[in-house]
Structure 1
Amino acid sequence: MTAAVASDTVDGNVFGGVDSHADTIHVAVISDNGGHLADAEFATTAPGYAAAPAFLAAHGQVVAIGVEGTASYGAGFTRAARAHGFRVVEVNRPDRAERRRTGKSDPIDAYAAARAALSGRASSAPKDDTVAGIRALHNAARSAVKARTGVLTALKSLARRVMDLTAEHDALTRALNTEVTTANPGLRAAYGVGPDTAAQLLITAGDNPERMRTEASFAALCGAAPVPASSGRTNRHRLSRGGDRAANAALYRIAPTRMAGDPRTREHVSRHTTAGRTKKEIIRLLKRAITREIFRCLSTTVTTPGIADLLPLRRAKNITLTAAAQHFGTWPTTISRLEKGTSRNDDLIHAYRQWLQAA
């Protein structure tokens, strides 16, 4: 404790004032007529908080103590003073005009707080320091709400952009499907060949007419021609890594589609799996076989069976897609694609038409 020079101690009513800081508090005591009695500095520690009230009580009967920052730096002293039964009042920071007139120091501010308690200018009950925790949580919650609102705004903008792009992509795909179907209906109707795949294969063929003379040259163009990769006792081939990579990717998209749903391709995969070939080797062989079919579609006119009568015929017979699919052991979407002409399976089309006519 650091004490300043004080006047004689009196036994009457006294008032206290506290200027609080992070590491120290400065305590002043005045008489009930405003005379300065003493002031001292204490550390913001448990011993300091115990000594400060005792310092005030030593000068008389403490009527009230004015404290700056009862819910912040002065919270510790406020709790200690109230535990001793003292009345504590909240003191507002002096205004700038008074500071310019009286100056600024810890003792000056402490005596000013004591005078505020004496005059009644400071009469508010001390702020509850538990509110500080509530205030911090409240501020954090408000900050979270603001951040969430900002994020939601960004997400809504992105969602609208995604919806717009999806609608644009769907419209372009429909237009592309019409163009490629008109340009080469046989290619578009081939199993696993969608609008984008058909378009890429037509582009590759159109950009390289000199490599469309033979099926082998087209396979090499697409990077689907086998390349020897034997070593020692191992006799094997691998796919060429040359050629048009976009065309090769188009062939690759066809392969897993057929492996998943085309009976002929599934039998092909099963046969080669039994023979001990790896999945990579099977896909290489499958891509080469697909290349032969695609070459025929690109180099010759491939007629596709008519499908215009299928949908009206099914509806006339009051047969659902599900019932038709169950009869043929396939998915309703498969029957729907046949009726729309978006996929091709000549054998299934003929069988489907015969079944509808006999129903």
Structure 2
Amino acid sequence: MTALQLPDIAPSGHIVVGVDTHKHIHVAAVVDTTAGLRSTLSVTADRDGFEKLLAWARSFGRILAFGVEGTGSYGAALTSFIRRHDTLVIEVSRPNRRLRRLNGKSDTLDAENAARAVLSRTATAIPKVTDGTAEMVRQLKVAYDTAVKARTAAMVTLKAMLVHAPDDVRASAEAKTPLALAHKFSRLRPSLLENTTDSIKHTLRSLSRRWISLDEEAGALNKMIYDLVQEAVPQLVESYGISTHTAAEILIVVGDNPERIKSEAALAKLAGISPIPASSGMTSGRYRINRGGHRQLNAAIYRAAIVRMRGHEPTKVYVARRTAEGKTKRDIVRCLKRYIIREVYRLLRYGPKVAEYAT
């Protein structure tokens, strides 16, 4: 008795291309909507490779979409290239660990899984545009954050080294701001390197000059970020409690195509602010805190909520009312974060003419 075999199915001519991206090569798989996997290809991660990939994919029929892993990292250049050729790109997450343990892992399998995720509508996210103002802000903010971190480290080290300085040097540093300390010690003129007094003065001068250099660098970068944010989303900065860097975090996450985020609930989930259902068995209506989402954006919205709780009169009234109802401060902050993200979504989609959230 022979086993039954499924008959061959003719290709429909409508395909989805899945791409597993890497630093130097990309691996692609073409999946037909009816005939399944048609072929795979490896290309170099440069313009020549992208053109070869697109021509190869078109030879199998009409491309419905590309499913690309790592659209914000190794797949960013490919995503921009495909978009410029008027083809839909869907962002695909890595397969979960359970599936990888069951089915194994290889670049071709990952590429095929990416295409099937798009076909099954498991993956539906539209990736951010990475060649506009939002990407410019992201790049500058990376440089700014690292400069600020290094500046802080320089000042912490300087103050630690002051412990070993002579008494007169330590006394002259008391009650001075970091800026005043740095300028004071940057003007030190130590003599020859003959003892520890000379070496500590050299050390303090070096650390002070480093701090001043990093402070000037951070200031210049901050000005660039401010100008870009004011040009792109001035309505966010005008909102109470949302600073330039909070608006920058929002812009970085949303990107230059905010229409890809379909609702304020989707933005809340993206920021890790929306609660997650946690019902099971005999329990229902239970939720837990969302520990996922973009944590930098979550922290930025938290800071905005704290600022409003301290100085925004409508928010103060809201906090007093919720406190009288028995809510804890932590619960109130969570509610405020949800209100703020809703306001942010409306400002991004509809402009500054939106109602105050604390009513």
TM-score tier after normalising by the smaller chain length: 0.3 to 0.5
TM-score after normalising by structure 1: 0.41
**Which has more radius of gyration?**
1
